[in-house]
A = this chain, B = another copy of it.
Amino acid sequence: MKLHDLTLSGNCYKVRLLAALAGIELELVPVDFMGGAHKRAPHTDLNPWGELPVLEDGDVVLRDSQAILVYLGARYAGEQWLPRDPLGLATVMQWLSTAANEIQHGPGAARLVDKFGYVLDKADALRRAERILGLLEQHLAHNDWLALQHPTIADCAVFPYVALSHEGGMSLADYPQVRAWIDRVKALPGFVGMPGV
């Protein structure tokens, strides 16, 4: 099973993190992001969106880090990582939306500006980062994990860009519950980091 990957991408790291925690073997295929290989064929034949990560599992080709987490969770990682009952599935799904929306456009976007020179509204990204970190802080004051009282793909989806907040100029000093959750994730058996985490 191949993951078309970029070491510095938090979205790719979501997948590497689940794979490490759930004992799923991945062959990493590095993509020359700085050289723009993700915007050209053959990568765009796999993913017309010109983005990373992409998963290839035999004939299966999937774009979008959340969708890849769902696939690995449902097919390989077991019910503990992605439950199949409607309420469990929807509870995890709330956080996959959060990862694609508030996290991506908050701490994720702020980091794109600072680390990769993207032309985005940094002030807007920091406002969004503050809002979502405040909501996370409130949620984690009463919950050890994002969903279902145990680690799931929800944690894998939200963790990377939160743990990388400082690379977008967002300190976690005022968010002790978030920092404690980061420490709990880091203490999970099999945990792997990435540069900056």
- Which A residues have a C-beta under 8 Å from some C-beta of B? 48-49, 60, 62-68, 70-71, 74-75, 84-87, 89-91, 93-94, 96-98, 100-101, 104-105, 120-121, 124, 135, 138-139
Contact = CB atoms under 8 A, between A and B. Distances in A.
A121 B124 CA distance: 9
Contacts of A70: 86, 89-90, 93
25 contacts: A62-B94, A64-B98, A66-B97, A67-B91, A67-B93, A67-B97, A70-B86, A70-B93, A71-B87, A71-B89, A71-B90, A71-B93, A74-B85, A74-B86, A74-B89, A84-B84, A93-B96, A96-B96, A97-B97, A100-B100, A100-B101, A105-B105, A120-B124, A121-B121, A121-B124
Given A48-B138, A100-B100, A62 B90 contact: yes
Contacts of A105: 101, 105
B86 A64 contact: no
A87 B60 contact: yes
A14 to B, nearest CB: 12
Contacts of A90: 62, 67-68, 70-71, 74
Given A75-B86, A86-B74, A94 B121 contact: no
Contacts of A63: 94
A71 to B, nearest CB: 4
Of the listed residues A49, A70, A84, A90, the one surrounded by the most CB atoms of chain B closer than 10 A to its CB is: A90
Given A71-B89, A100-B100, A139 B48 contact: yes
